[in-house]
Chain A
């Protein structure tokens, strides 16, 4: 397979070029994106991918929200200043060539003359749209990930009758698995639901034992073609599905303004793509690694992936379903509450071990493992499968 001739540039758009635009960088970004989309004869809602520079101050989700784009299934930032320019197009081409997105817009916008001039050294300048977005919460003392998640958790409890004990069952399962994993920080240290309930408040309704660890460490993964993988030393864990998601109205950790905040629509977007790409469904998954920086979002993820209906995760997990021996053992390594917090990368490694059937807490007859990434943020997921 080659990238050659698999993709094309179909629209271009720019703002006027001036020494003082008189408007925010976010507005400039949204305007040029919309102009390019119109030039292509497309609607904003047709766009499902964005690429830009790591130096860009307007994140993909801020641009998408302001320009009225739809759900995003591909977003990517390239480093190294101006060196990123053509690479944004290359990323977009790869995305559309492989079908992970249909319409990708590459953008870059700034007030480099009237705002922060690169040549001026450090200076005080117009805040970024990211900074402004965070101000809506930080100014009111809502400043930690636990607090941001707790706001969703409270609403989820209200809408579906979930309790702190339901969150605690996730923690108990993770710690049970960590207790038999010698690599886990909490090896040999299971907890009870009573201990979870007795642990101190961090941000109500979250207790200490609803929160993941903080870890120093590293985790890497090697990817090659399936064909080549067959000639290598280890049993391959085939990437049956890989997807990103940033859903309409997405904000980073604080998407409080959508009609419904008791779910995780970005994870639903990932789920739909993963099931479609891999051709399997929740019933075909033997074990899952569900992102667990804080316990409440584990419940919403089980719902978004269709392991149970909306609001019924508390019933799904009530009888130990997510523990070893249950219907869907979750985080068999101990998760980020029990093993280590490495931004989810250690969970991908556990999924690989489950496919290789070398995990310390091995689930029998594993063919397919679901892995999810960070919740509350634009996210991603994988389905790893045995090669047969």
Chain B
């Protein structure tokens, strides 16, 4: 039984160059700002940074790591903040925001936050069905 207010264990994600490039390519995002430092700088960024599909994917992973493989992800709504630049570290944290009992199981909404040295990179909610 999940309770509102329950905190999830933190998850530390390294924004290494390797991780940024690998995740961008794994999500088929070939934009140069995610793999080429010179291009990123030319466009006004400090260096390469994590792409959106990955940020969203990290939020889902963070929640399903906690729930286990039976969870079915129903919704995710994230808001993007400061960039997650190469060389930084993002720490994911979360708390249970809402729990709804349905016939097919518990519908749990987790408020998630990914924070790096610049501030909140991502904040939002992930809703999963726990059968």
Q: Would A and B touch once assembled, by the CB under 8 A criterion? A: no
Binding site for B on A (CB under 8 A): none
Binding site for A on B (CB under 8 A): none
